[in-house]
Every structure is written in C-alpha cells, then in structure tokens.
C-alpha cells in the first residue's frame, strides 16, 4: 500500500471537513476549498477522532497512483485553510521592480513594457520594496493564499515573465533560489 495514502489526515481545531458524494469540502479560518475525488478511491471522515482516511478500491496501477495523490490534495486543503501557503520572490536587476495597484500586479523587468498580471481571487500579494535600494538590493514580494496550487501557479507565472539569466543573475527568482552562474566571454588575445 501507499505509505502516503494510508496515513490518516488529522483535522485541526477550527477546520471542518464534509463529504457530499465524491466532493470533499474543507472550511477553515482562511477560506473554503473543495475537490471532487476519482471513483477509484474512497474518502471517509471519522468524526470522533477528527480524522480523514483515504482508501483505494483495488490494486490497479491507476488506483494505486490516485491513492496517495488524493490524500495529499486533501491534506494540502486542510493545511491551506488553517495556515495558508506563501511563496517569496525577489526581482534582481537595475531598474527592475514590482508594483501592486488594487487587483493589478505589474513587473518591470527590462522589457519594453511592464508585464501586468490580474491577481486571482483568494490570493494576497505583499510588496516589500525597500525605500533606498542599492544596486544589489532586490525588490521583494510574497504571494499568500489557502490554495497551494493557485499560490504556486501564480508565483510561477510571474517568474516566467523574466526568469533569472545565468550571467548576471537578473530576473525574477524565488527567495533562496540558487542560480548557477556562467562566466562571461574572455577577451581574445591580441593576435594579428
């Protein structure tokens, strides 16, 4: 059996898990999330122990793969509505920066125009750009929300608008991301 799939999910205080057919709904202080699981797996909510268990119907290859996946998705929903998920990003480069105006988030990253993103519902963006930025001080921002997939997808879309380049490291990157740097071209000898 799947080690991940057979591990029960503990429901913390303040989180409510309910089942309606194949739809699992999780409510907490940070919001409400729901998924519809596949028929190859079954989900049970044990109220006295405040535990969610995921079982598979047979040992087919698809059922085995969906067993752990479904358990992980439900666990991420429980974690998201109770604590939330956060991605921290940094923008390196002279003249590069970010700006948040209402529901519009714009990234200025060396292109002929700023790249503007619509902030999806359920996400909270925080821009922490220092007032007196030096040349090596990046603009920082964070993406926070209850839905792990939505947080990760939005952060990846913003990073994709200008991924870090390997020579000077300019671009949008995750905080703590290590960029493997390349050495620039060496000057050719003064041959004639």
Residue pLDDT, tens place only, 146-174: 999 999 999 999 999 999 999 988 999 99
Average pLDDT over residues 10-24: 91
CB 98, CB 106: distance < 8 Å: yes
Residue among 54, 64, 51 at smallest CA distance from 1 = 64
Q: Does 192 reside within a domain?
A: no
* pLDDT beyond 70 at 111: yes
Shared domain for 152 and 100, answered yes or no, is: yes
* pLDDT beyond 70 at 176: yes
Q: Does 182 reside within a domain?
A: no
Identify the H or E element spanning 144: strand 139-145
Domain count within the chain: 2
For residue 184, CA distances in Å to 166, 168, 190 come to: 10, 9, 18
Q: Does 186 reside within a domain?
A: no
Residue span of the structural domain in which 70 resides: 3-82
In the chain, the percentage of residues whose pLDDT exceeds 90 is 65
Q: Which residue has the higher pLDDT, 2 or 9?
A: 9
Structure letter (DSSP) for residue 164: P
pLDDT reported for residue 132? 54
């Amino acid at each position: 059996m799947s080690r991940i799939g057979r591990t029960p999910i503990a429901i913390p205080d303040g989180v409510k898990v309910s089942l309606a057919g194949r739809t699992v709904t999780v409510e907490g202080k940070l919001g409400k999330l729901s998924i519809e699981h596949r028929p190859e797996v079954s989900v049970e909510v044990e109220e006295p122990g405040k535990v969610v268990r995921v079982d598979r119907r047979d040992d087919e290859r698809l059922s085995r793969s969906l067993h752990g996946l479904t358990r992980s998705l439900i666990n991420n929903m429980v974690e998201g509505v109770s604590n939330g998920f956060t991605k921290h990003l940094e923008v390196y480069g002279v003249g590069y920066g970010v700006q948040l105006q209402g529901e519009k988030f714009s990234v200025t990253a060396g292109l002929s125009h700023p790249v503007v993103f619509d902030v999806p519902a359920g996400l909270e963006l925080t821009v922490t750009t220092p007032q007196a930025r030096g040349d090596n001080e990046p603009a920082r921002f964070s993406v926070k929300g209850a839905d792990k997939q939505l947080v990760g997808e939005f952060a990846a879309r913003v990073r994709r608008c200008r991924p870090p380049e390997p020579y000077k490291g300019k671009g949008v990157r995750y905080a703590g991301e290590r960029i493997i740097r390349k050495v620039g071209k060496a000057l050719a000898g003064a041959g004639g």
